[in-house]
């Protein structure tokens, strides 16, 4: 049995009931096989893969808080500190009822390679809670965030571990957590990113993941001799990543015709009016259904399947920006049948392995999340730099750096694929290019 197969079996045996973690590890190991086989003896001796798939540390804790009825609620809290070979742990916090250790380990594992691809000095981590911010009052959200940080603050720091947002964690939650960190430690430091602009945040961080996604799509299009102008785009989700992916796609002349949330999707053949989506989602914290109540050309379809139906809408480009495994083989078949030729992942692992393999086999240009959505964490790293230097860069400065980073990621990913004889396979390219830097650092730092 090859070293990569052996490690995959070990991961499954030693981490039972963690299917998302197994899925993320399998995809990486399968595509790294080419690199690892060439160095098998050395890597085996160093236990390199055994170390790579084992988080340096997982912190798991109780989060008690009081709801508006005066009742005590208890949630689970976690931080997975996966790999610090190339920098302090860096990665978001997810607050969603589905959060468990498997999901956070898959996200933390992906983050190692994504952060490496940014070219910036950040290690891999992820955290969160099964707390559901939906339908909670601001006071309840604050009570939860303060309790979460009361425990988490012991394990994080500007040079140690720097969390940020993810599903269910935006500016409001980062604010409450930052305030509590400051109160507990007395430190005004860059311990969280995604902060508000008046208290240490960076311009462009809000837009960064979605903008970065479209910047890399633009690079892919250029390589195919196309432009975004006039292309039809379907985007799942209507959260932070989806909204700013739609904004940049529209700025570059594309027509975004559909968006979704976990209850269903809206189709607007005239093109989604983003100011209305922003008002519903960012201001009112409402449902995407309300878009169709306000816009005559739009049709809403309720979808108990987590809005997977959105992939049956005809498009040139599909950008899954909601959650893991939201685009399956059946959905991929629909996309291809309708002429979709490019899929880029704004979310983390939104495409199942079967769907990814199918899309690639059908010649669809496919950019995996760890490359395509790296603009968010890259801009977080730029926020860390500004915090350390006690400076604030202009919107244009940060946006230009983000664009350069996404171009560089595209170049690295396509180059690595070429070097290993799998040209155009960006999944392999991203995993190989991300891995090379981390493994070099791990080897240099000895057995830690
Ligand atoms: P938000 O919480 O802002 O938005 C999430 C969106 O996805 C909402 O529209 C939500 O709908 C939908 N969604 C969430 N869970 C499900 C589900 N189980 N089924 C169907 N729809 C769902 O999160 P973000 O936009 O920040 O994150 C979206 C994705 O992008 C995640 O995979 C995240 O890990 C990834 N990502 C985020 C980055 C960031 O900077 N924020 C950076 C890189 C990746 P509803 O409101 O109904 O729950
Ligand atoms: O998945 C991700 O890369 C994020 N949620 C952003 C992490 C960060 O630290 O900005």
With both helix axes pointing from N to C terminus, report the angle between 101-117 and 395-419 in degrees, rounded to the nearest 10.
90
Q: Measuring CA to CA, which residue among 103, 120, 114 is closest to residue 28?
A: 114
Q: Which atom of ligand 1 is nearest to the CA of 263?
A: 47
User: Which of 34 and 125 is assigned the larger pLDDT?
Assistant: 125
**Which residues approach ligand 2 with their CB closer than 6 A?**
90-92, 114, 164, 166, 193, 348, 376-377, 380
With both helix axes pointing from N to C terminus, report the angle between 240-251 and 205-223 in degrees, rounded to the nearest 10.
50
Question: Alpha helix (H) ranges present in 39-100?
Answer: 40-46, 48-52
Structure confidence at residue 304 as a pLDDT band (50, 70, 90)? confident
Q: What is the Cα–Cα distance from 427 to 422, expressed in whole angstroms? A: 10
Instruction: Indicate which residue's Cα is closest to atom 15 of ligand 1.
Output: 323
**Which residues approach ligand 1 with their CB closer than 6 A?**
165-168, 209, 237-242, 261-263, 306-307, 321-323, 326, 346-348, 373, 376
Q: What is the Cα–Cα distance from 217 to 18, expressed in whole angstroms? A: 32
Task: Tell me the CA–centroid distance for residue 12 and ligand 1, in Å.
Answer: 27
For 346, list phi and psi in degrees, rounded to 5: -80, -35
Ligand at minimal distance from the CA of 103 is: 1
- DSSP assignment string, 202-240: -TTHHHHHHHHHHHHHHHHHHHTT--STT-EEEEE--SH
Strand partners of residue 76:
62
Structure tokens at 91: 């990665």
Residue 382 has pLDDT above 90, yes or no: yes
Q: What is the Cα–Cα distance from 222 to 118, expressed in whole angstroms? A: 21
Strand partners of residue 234:
258, 318
pLDDT in tens, 243-262: 999 999 999 999 999 999 99
Mean pLDDT of 127-149: 98
Counting Cα atoms < 13 Å in the Cβ hemisphere of 3 gives 22
Mean pLDDT of 196-211: 98
Cβ–Cβ under 8 Å, residues 56 and 84: yes
pLDDT in tens, 28-66: 999 999 899 999 999 999 999 999 999 999 999 999 999
pLDDT in tens, 279-295: 999 999 999 999 999 99
pLDDT for residue 34: 86
Active-site residue among 114, 126, 195, 412? 126
Most ligand 1 atoms within 8 A of CB, residue of 106, 111, 237 to mutate: 237
Task: Tell me the CA–centroid distance for residue 164 and ligand 2, in Å.
Answer: 6
pLDDT in tens, 385-414: 999 999 999 999 999 999 999 999 999 999
Q: Could you tell me the end-to-end alpha-carbon distance of the chain, in angstroms, rounded to an integer? A: 27
Instruction: Indicate which residue's Cα is closest to atom 1 of ligand 2.
Output: 92
pLDDT for residue 306: 80
pLDDT for residue 305: 84
pLDDT for residue 218: 98
Q: What is the Cα–Cα distance from 87 to 106, expressed in whole angstroms? A: 19
pLDDT for residue 231: 98
Mean pLDDT of 313-329: 98
Q: What is the Cα–Cα distance from 263 to 288, expressed in whole angstroms? A: 8
Cα 345 to Cα 259, 361, 399: the distances in Å are: 15, 17, 20
| 126 has catalytic annotation | yes
């Amino acid at each position: 049995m090859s070293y990569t197969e052996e490690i995959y079996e070990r991961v499954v045996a030693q981490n039972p009931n963690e299917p998302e973690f197994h899925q993320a590890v399998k995809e990486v190991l399968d595509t790294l096989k080419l690199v690892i086989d060439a160095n098998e003896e050395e890597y085996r001796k160093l236990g390199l893969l055994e170390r790579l798939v084992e988080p340096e540390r997982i912190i798991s804790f109780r989060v008690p808080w009081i709801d508006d009825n005066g009742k005590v609620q208890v949630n689970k809290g976690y931080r997975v500190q996966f790999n610090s070979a190339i920098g302090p742990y860096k990665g978001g916090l997810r607050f969603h009822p589905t959060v468990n250790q498997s999901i956070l380990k898959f996200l933390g594992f992906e983050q190692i390679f994504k952060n490496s691809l940014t070219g910036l000095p950040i290690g891999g981590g992820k955290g969160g809670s099964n707390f559901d911010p939906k339908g909670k009052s601001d006071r309840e959200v604050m009570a939860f965030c303060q309790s979460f940080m009361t425990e988490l603050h012991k394990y994080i720091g500007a040079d140690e571990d720097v969390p940020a947002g993810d599903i269910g964690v935006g500016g409001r939650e980062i604010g409450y957590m930052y305030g509590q960190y400051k109160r507990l430690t007395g430190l005004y430091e860059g311990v969280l990113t995604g902060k508000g602009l008046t208290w240490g945040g960076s311009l462009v961080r809000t837009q960064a993941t979605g903008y970065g996604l479209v910047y890399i799509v633009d690079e892919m299009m250029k390589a195919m001799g196309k432009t975004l102008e006039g292309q039809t785009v379907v985007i799942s989700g209507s959260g932070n990543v989806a909204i700013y992916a739609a904004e940049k796609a529209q700025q570059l002349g594309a027509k975004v015709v559909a968006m979704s949330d976990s209850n269903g999707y809206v189709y607007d053949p005239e093109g989604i009016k983003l100011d209305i989506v922003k008002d519903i989602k960012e201001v009112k914290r409402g449902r995407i259904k309300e878009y169709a109540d306000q816009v005559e050309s739009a049709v809403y379809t309720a979808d108990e399947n987590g809005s997977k139906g959105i992939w049956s809408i005809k498009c040139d480009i599909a950008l899954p920006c909601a959650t893991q495994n939201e685009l399956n083989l059946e959905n991929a078949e629909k996309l291809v049948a309708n002429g979709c030729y490019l899929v880029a992942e704004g979310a983390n692992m939104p495409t199942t392995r079967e769907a990814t393999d199918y899309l690639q086999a059908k010649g669809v240009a496919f950019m995996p999340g760890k490359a395509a959505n790296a603009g968010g964490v890259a801009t977080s790293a730029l926020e860390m730099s500004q915090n350390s230097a006690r400076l604030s860069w202009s919107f244009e400065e940060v946006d230009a750096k983000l664009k350069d980073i996404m171009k560089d990621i595209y170049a690295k990913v396509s180059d690595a694929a070429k070097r290993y004889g799998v040209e155009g396979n960006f999944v392999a390219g991203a995993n190989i290019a991300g891995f090379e830097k981390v493994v070099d650092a791990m080897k240099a730092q000895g057995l830690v």
